[in-house]
Amino acid sequence: METTAVVVGTGNVATHLVRALQQSDVQVLMLYGRNREHADEAARLLGVSSTTDWKKLPSGAHFYLYAVSDNALAEVLAHTIAPQAIHLHTAGSMGLELFPRHKPRHGVLYPLQTFSKSKPLNFRTVPLFVEASSPDVLAEVNRLASLLADKVYEADSQQRRRLHLAAVFACNFVNHLYAIAGDLVQSSHLSFEVLRPLIAETASKIDFLSPQEAQTGPAVRRDDAVMKKHLALLNDHPEYQKIYELISRSISGD
């Protein structure tokens, strides 16, 4: 029997999830979005039908996947639909307690990756972390996850919350530092392109070294003279100075 799914959401995660389901021969019956324009755009992009009306969602899918923001998750889960189906959210920082009683078969399918609609991504390389309300549901969630990705891990809500926190440091904060670095080089009439080889080499080092072993720079050397010069260059950016000092202290252990 063909596996079927309904996806709730039209953002970055939902877009990549639908593509992964389609590539894994899971039939996506419909996509739900609160915003008509976004739902129509996603439907055209992904070649699926969409709706903004809960009552029009098919009730016979095997899986209902909720790929929405954490703030919207409780609201969308509250809708009554397909109590016999398995309902899964994709949030790293949210637990099973959000699921209402009328969705007794539920769980989590959390992809540990950063997603952008405009950038293609091989979903099979994305680690998936799963949790479920019962052993039989977990078996079904593992089956679905294995269709989508090569690496599937079981993790409870507390483990997943800490994993999500680690991901914020490893991805979101790092990307913000790229933005600051870009601002600094552009203020000197240079292009962000000059930083790309450095960024690529820094990221590739962790394939061979631990982050602690790969750490370089004035903070790990405790080169106070260089750091004072850097802080002086940031006099017009006091918010950057605070970030520089905080991270430098963390690196040096002071």
> Per-residue pLDDT tens for 201-228?
999 999 999 999 999 999 999 999 999 9
Q: Is the pLDDT of residue 80 over 90?
A: no
Percentage with pLDDT > 70 across the chain: 100
Q: Is the pLDDT of residue 1 over 80?
A: no
Phi, psi of 135 (to 5 degrees): -60, -40
Q: Is the pLDDT of residue 171 over 90?
A: yes
Task: Please answer whether residues 52 and 75 qualify as being in contact, where contact means their C-beta atoms are separated by less than 8 angstroms.
Answer: no
Question: Mutual orientation of helices 238-252 and 174-187 as an angle, nearest 10°?
Answer: 130
pLDDT band at 254 (very low <50, low <70, confident <90, very high): confident
Percentage with pLDDT > 90 across the chain: 96
More confident residue, 188 or 1: 188
The gap between the terminal CA atoms of the chain, to the nearest Å, is 61
SS3 call for 51? strand
Q: pLDDT tens, 191-200?
A: 999 999 999 9
Q: pLDDT tens, 120-132?
A: 999 999 999 999 9
Predicted local confidence at residue 23, as pLDDT: 95
DSSP 115-174: --TTS---GGGS-EEEEESSHHHHHHHHHHHHHH-S-EEE--HHHHHHHHHHHIIIIIIH
Is 0.85 topped by the overall pTM?
yes
Q: pLDDT tens, 37-68?
A: 999 999 999 999 999 999 999 999 999 999 99
Domains of the chain in start order, with CATH, are 4-155 (3.40.50.720), 160-252 (1.10.1040.20)
Predicted local confidence at residue 39, as pLDDT: 93
Predicted local confidence at residue 143, as pLDDT: 97
